Homo-oligomer: A and B are copies of this chain.
Amino acid sequence: MAKVVIENLSKYFDRVEAVKNFELEIDDKEFVVLVGPSGCGKSTTLRCVAGLEEMTAGEIHIGDQMVNDLPPRDRNIAMVFQDYALYPHMSVYQNMAFGLKLRKYAKAEINQRVREAAEILGIEELLNRKPRELSGGQRQRVAVGRAIVRKPSVFLFDEPLSNLDAKLRVQMRAELSKLHQQLQTTIIYVTHDQVEAMTMGTKIVIMKDGEIQQVGTPMEVYEYPVNLFVGGFIGSPAMNFIPAKIISKDSELSVDAGSFELVIPSEKEQYLQGKINEEVIFGIRPEDMQDKSFAEKSIQGGSIQAVVEVVEPLGSEVQLFVISGEHSLVARVDPRTQARLSEGIKLVLNMDKIHIFEKEPPHFRVKTEERP
């Protein structure tokens, strides 16, 4: 129920700059995910918004208010912590009611709100339990419940799913998405897990070393990463990167990766004229490398010969770790593949989906298409 604007936020710990000139506008009802490897400053940014950390420079606005000098309790936010931080000496009911009690709500009002939240989260039967009697998933729900009873204008989540096992995480991810639609509030969510970012965020902010790398929707950052870091960070298994050279041959442009050459689709040629004979980094996602025998016929691509090093069947697909010349590559192929260890395989690369990055840091992506 509120817009959040972060202007030029910087935060030093001693002499280390944890967050550098962070600029972000978060619209009302958006689900923004800050994502990045550990130490990238995402949690620090969130804690600055919460008021748990003092900023070195910058301004934070929540709704119409500049909150720089407000303590956490006056910012109208609620936060869900990584370890849930439930009060161990209070029952689930008391945990959820605590914030309302401190704000001197009437007993009946508190009771109604707690029961309402408990119903939304399906924890009505746990209200009299102590946190230590709950499972991980239940604690997670109580922590969310404690946040929603207060009906704050912004929810802050700090890696809330990182202590859950894989199955439960998939389930809670969907539940949090549903909750967001139901409550229609602004959410700022921090995680190191790109899957969580992709699946839950309406807007993703990718950070590294305290700096924002890219802001966009999940599909934008996946299809058009601004640089090598974002390309490698988003997506699992990670994008394949191959040092290569753009060459012009027989009036066509090609990628020359030493052990193989691949023809670049003619639509992309116009963007790459300036790069001819330059060294670049050629990127291709594992799912854009298909087993030739099962590849869709429509794919416009070049094929390469490789030797299979590891076969990882996943049921609905097979991941192949292959070697082609001097390059180690990963491909996600059809489960019917006949690939066998140490044997050769022909892979088709979908050349419409290639990425070209500059050789020099910060390895910007070269534009090779008009975006829709």
Contact = CB atoms under 8 A, between A and B. Distances in A.
27 contacts: A165-B192, A166-B193, A166-B236, A167-B238, A170-B236, A170-B238, A173-B312, A174-B310, A174-B312, A177-B312, A178-B310, A195-B314, A198-B314, A198-B315, A199-B312, A199-B314, A218-B313, A218-B315, A219-B313, A219-B315, A222-B313, A234-B315, A285-B315, A285-B316, A286-B316, A287-B316, A316-B332
A181 interface: yes
The size class of the interface chain A forms with chain B is 35 or more
A237 interface: yes
Contact of A174 (B199, B235, B321): B321
Interface in A204-246: 218-219, 222-223, 234-238
Interface string A331-350: 01001000001100000000
Give the secondary structure class of A's interface: mixed
A358 interface: no
Interface of A: 165-167, 170, 173-174, 177-178, 181, 192-193, 195, 198-200, 218-219, 222-223, 234-238, 285-287, 309-310, 312-316, 319, 321, 332, 335, 341-342
Contact of A219 (B198, B285, B335): B335
